[in-house]
Amino acid sequence: MPLHVDVHGSGPRTAVLLHGMMGSAESWWRISPLLVSRGYRVLAVDLPGHGLSPRDDRLTIPRAADAVADAVDALGVTGVDVAIGHSFGGLVLAAGAERLRPAIAVYVDSPFTSRGGAVAADVTAEYENARARRTVAGLRATHPLYGEEDCNVEARAADRFDAATGAAVAAGPGGSWPPAPGSIMVRPEPSRYVTAEQAAALEAAGVQVRSIPGASHSVWYGHFDEFVAALPEVFG
């Protein structure tokens, strides 16, 4: 399952970016050029069923993680310096960390458990309804922290999203993929994906948790400067 990867820059370091459910490689439109300016070759991946990547109605978290690792290997990468995963992309990153072996792993408001066992047809219908609402006008109304280009990018990503692929994950076996000690979690405060209790548990397990009050689920939308400042190891 060869994935589409947007490659930016040619620096000596490599950064891998994994978007959230119903997003795309374009979701990092402000992050990618900043990383390039810091000397990274940026690999922004379209996950299965998203953007320009193939659809997969048998997708599981491990299957997505392997597809990402295969895509990175195919580009001749011998070492990943930074990997950033948002939400669903963070779950995929955690599942694929053993193969990617990033020197720095950053999770942005990511859960680390997939419940599985859902009815695929029901979830497909839910995703189709969500897609229909994620127009530019709809995003302007429901996501006041998003800028105009954020709305354009996310509406385009929703239009390309394959609901059956997303539903396959929810209907699959589920599982948990905890982040390694030393990883970094950036979350909004409050967060419905990483609650205060879950953040405390992550810290107890050796994960650095950095919270940004008032941010949205896509933390860098609307709180770009705060997001960058929260990651000096990455953006320096």
Is residue 45 within a helix (H) or strand (E), and if so which, with residue range?
Answer: strand 40-45
Mean residue pLDDT of the chain comes to 97
**What confidence score (pLDDT) does residue 71 get?**
98
| Whole-Å CA distances, 209 to 85, 104, 136, 182, 188 | 14, 14, 32, 10, 10
Q: Is residue 158 part of a domain?
A: no
Which domain covers residue 37, as residue numbers? 5-113+174-230
**What confidence score (pLDDT) does residue 44 get?**
99
Domain count, the chain: 1
Q: Is residue 37 part of a domain?
A: yes
Rounded CA separation 127/158 (Å): 10
Q: Is residue 153 part of a domain?
A: no
Predicted confidence band at 1 (pLDDT cuts at 50, 70, 90)? confident
The CATH code of the domain that includes 31 is 3.40.50.1820
**What confidence score (pLDDT) does residue 120 get?**
97
Average pLDDT value for residue range 44-68: 98
Which residue in this structure is represented by tokens 């030393």?
182
Q: Is residue 180 part of a domain?
A: yes
Q: Is residue 75 part of a domain?
A: yes
Q: Is residue 235 part of a domain?
A: no
Question: Which pTM does this prediction carry?
Answer: 0.98
What are the pLDDT digits (tens) for 131-147? 999 999 999 999 999 99
Q: Is residue 152 part of a domain?
A: no
**What confidence score (pLDDT) does residue 139 get?**
98
Q: Is residue 135 part of a domain?
A: no
